Structure 1
């Protein structure tokens, strides 16, 4: 015989499944944002240069 689960338990399972899918999606998105590690020294150097350029732009545009 089939027994039904209480609504709160079904809701809790739905939320758990949603959170698991969201975590997977966020992990995959984060992988796309992180520089590729196959060329780690080059990637780190490029990231450093880009960060320095961005900071210099921001500082040069500030009004003191």
Structure 2
């Protein structure tokens, strides 16, 4: 079974959350990044990151799940 998701990459790291005082938190690998299954939520976060002066890149990923 395959599922489609999106992830946000900033430089060579992957977005996973906003921390205290709305600081951008990133992970070193795709596994630590937040997966978005709702494209409108990913676009909303991307706009917030752009407003903070970041250069986010929205990437599509395909997940293969064994049942």
TM-score for both structures, normalised by structure 1: 0.27
Larger radius of gyration: 1
Report the structure, 1 or 2, having the larger helix content. 1
